[in-house]
């Protein structure tokens, strides 16, 4: 009776033990996820959401890795010498383990970059979203490259010649494509340092226009005449850039005018400011509305007392319409108020002999 009972246990154990192993590791995964949920509850009280995102994105990979370990031990218990297409059981699960770990690190790095990208959208970082995307891809390529090298070593292949060959090949490619690489590096610099961004009105080596695209090799600028200028990033990074939209987008519009010497300067100042205010009020899309116009007398010129009128345009292109309207309004106001804008003139006194 006892011997039959023991033989029954021996016959059942090859089935029970693997099941216990798989279920046990899956249960362990859910316990770890439960602990992570508790930790996540604590991290939710911190100022940043990065720790919450990392913990939430680690739950899936941890379940997969622990389940994989459970399956490996279960299969190994039943058939330790199992081979599939000449690959041993250990090699197969080591490869799967390396890929699972690489996937986990990639998911964590993507979480970090996505969190940082969100900060860029809120204006809390200077790094461009395109640069963040590029770095995310480069990190993923690096992680999976390391995973590939690890997989190669699982098959007892010496990776030293492979690394040496990649190094020599990399040098050859770098020498052959140095101009392209220089453009890529310059594009990365522009994306990270962000001296310009899309929509900015800039001047580079006498060329003015709006930045419409910043690629990894070239930057495209559209002039006010709708012409497209393409500048290599390598040239752009070495040039002096005048950014009319940084640090602020608005720009001063300065109109110069002269009045006759016999004019009442207090009256001139008053009516000029009123004229400028009317221009601001009637050009809401072009003029900075919360700016009070400024009038400053500049000099005693040969034929007039010269002054400057200053208002603010919301952006570079708006200054031309505002200058147009300001000159018209000042001329109309002076004519109405009897203020003379004198012509340049010289009085010549001749002595008779």
pTM of the model: 0.53
CB count in 10 Å sphere of residue 173: 12
Q: Answer yes or no: are the C-beta atoms of 314 and 280 closer than 8 Å.
A: no
* Cα angle value 232/237/241 (rounded, 5°): 105
Which residues lie closer than 8 Å to 336 by C-beta, 6 or more apart?
A: none
Helices assigned H by DSSP within the chain: 2-43, 50-78, 89-121, 129-154, 160-176, 178-193, 233-237, 265-282, 318-337
pLDDT of residue 312: 94
pLDDT of residue 131: 64
Alpha-carbon distance 15 to 23, whole Å? 13
Each residue's pLDDT tens digit, 55-109: 777 777 777 777 777 777 777 766 666 666 666 777 777 888 888 888 888 888 8
Q: Answer yes or no: are the C-beta atoms of 14 and 75 closer than 8 Å.
A: no
In the predicted model, residues of the chain with pLDDT beneath 70 are: 1-15, 17-18, 21, 41-48, 77-87, 117-131, 133-134, 157-184, 186-187, 191-193, 346-347, 352-353
pLDDT of residue 296: 95
Q: Which residue do the tokens 């996820």 mark? A: 33
β-pair type (201-204, 241-243): antiparallel
Q: Which of helix, strand or coil describes residue 272?
A: helix
CA-to-CA dists, residue 277 to 61, 183, 274, 289, angstroms: 64, 48, 5, 9
pLDDT of residue 305: 94
pLDDT of residue 6: 39
Alpha-carbon distance 259 to 256, whole Å? 10
Which residues lie closer than 8 Å to 343 by C-beta, 6 or more apart?
A: 303
Name the DSSP class of 346: -
């Amino acid at each position: 009776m006892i011997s039959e009972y023991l033989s029954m246990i021996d016959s059942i154990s090859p089935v029970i033990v693997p099941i216990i192993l798989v279920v046990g590791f899956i249960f362990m995964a859910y316990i770890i996820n439960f602990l992570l949920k508790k930790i996540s509850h604590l991290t939710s009280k911190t100022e940043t959401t990065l720790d919450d995102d990392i913990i939430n994105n680690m739950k899936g990979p941890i379940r997969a890795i622990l389940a994989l370990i459970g399956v490996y031990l279960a299969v190994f218990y039943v058939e330790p010498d199992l081979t599939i297409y000449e690959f041993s059981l250990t090699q197969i699960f080591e490869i799967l383990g390396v890929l699972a770990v690489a996937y986990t690190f990639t998911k964590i790095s993507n979480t970090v970059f996505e969190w940082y990208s969100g900060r860029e959208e809120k204006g809390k970082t200077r790094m461009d979203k395109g640069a963040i995307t590029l770095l995310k891809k480069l990190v993923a390529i690096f992680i999976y490259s390391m995973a590939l090298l690890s997989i190669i070593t699982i098959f007892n292949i010496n990776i030293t010649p492979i690394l040496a060959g990649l190094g020599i090949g990399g040098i050859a490619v770098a020498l052959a494509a140095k101009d392209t690489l220089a453009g890529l590096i310059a594009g990365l610099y522009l994306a990270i340092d962000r001296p310009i961004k899309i929509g900015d009105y800039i001047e580079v080596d006498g060329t003015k226009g709006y930045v419409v695209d910043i690629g990894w090799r070239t930057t495209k600028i559209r002039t006010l005449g709708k012409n497209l200028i393409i500048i290599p990033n390598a040239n752009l990074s070495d040039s002096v850039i005048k950014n009319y939209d940084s640090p602020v987008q608005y720009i001063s519009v300065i109109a110069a005018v002269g009045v006759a010497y016999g004019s009442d300067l207090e009256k001139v100042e008053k009516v000029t400011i009123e004229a400028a205010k009317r221009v601001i009020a009637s050009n809401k899309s072009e003029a900075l509305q919360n700016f009070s116009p400024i009038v400053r007398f500049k000099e005693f010129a040969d034929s007039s007392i010269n002054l400057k009128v200053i208002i603010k345009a919301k952006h570079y292109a708006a200054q031309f319409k505002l200058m147009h309207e300001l000159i018209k309004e000042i001329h109309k106001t002076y004519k109405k108020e009897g203020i003379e804008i004198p012509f340049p003139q010289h009085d010549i006194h001749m002595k008779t002999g």
